[in-house]
Amino acid sequence: MLFMLIVKASKNSEAGNLPSQELMDAMTKYNEELVEAGVRIMAKGLHPSSDGIRISYPDPDEKPVVTEGPFKESNDLIAGFILIDVKSKEEALKWAMRMPDPQGEGEGQIELRQVF
């Protein structure tokens, strides 16, 4: 079963600030554990929304609307993701619970979603 651990953005990540060395080391260790367990498929961080483009469809009879970032609500944005292949939702949750606070300083939030 494929699951995506979606790392939500924070004001700090949206500012383009890199995590502390301590957090980068902790995330490296966590990713190495995922690889050693044979469950990690992919892990990537994303640029801040200031480099992004949003395409919305407010009217089904008209062309989509293109909006360049940055986007205001950082808690609705994604800073990165890890894709894992595990046997159950419970196992995915166990791996998610082992992730260090991905933003540090109590700002981190992870969303766990199963992939179709």
pLDDT tens column, 16-50? 888 899 999 999 999 999 999 999 999 999 999 99
Residue found by looking up tokens 């383009």 in the block: 16
Q: For residue 83, give the 3-state DSSP assignment.
A: strand
Give the strand pairing for 2-8 and 110-114: antiparallel
- The confidence band for 74, taking pLDDT boundaries of 50, 70 and 90, is low
pTM of the full predicted structure?
A: 0.88
pLDDT above 90: residue 3: yes
pLDDT at position 84: 98
Over range 59-74, report the average pLDDT.
Answer: 88
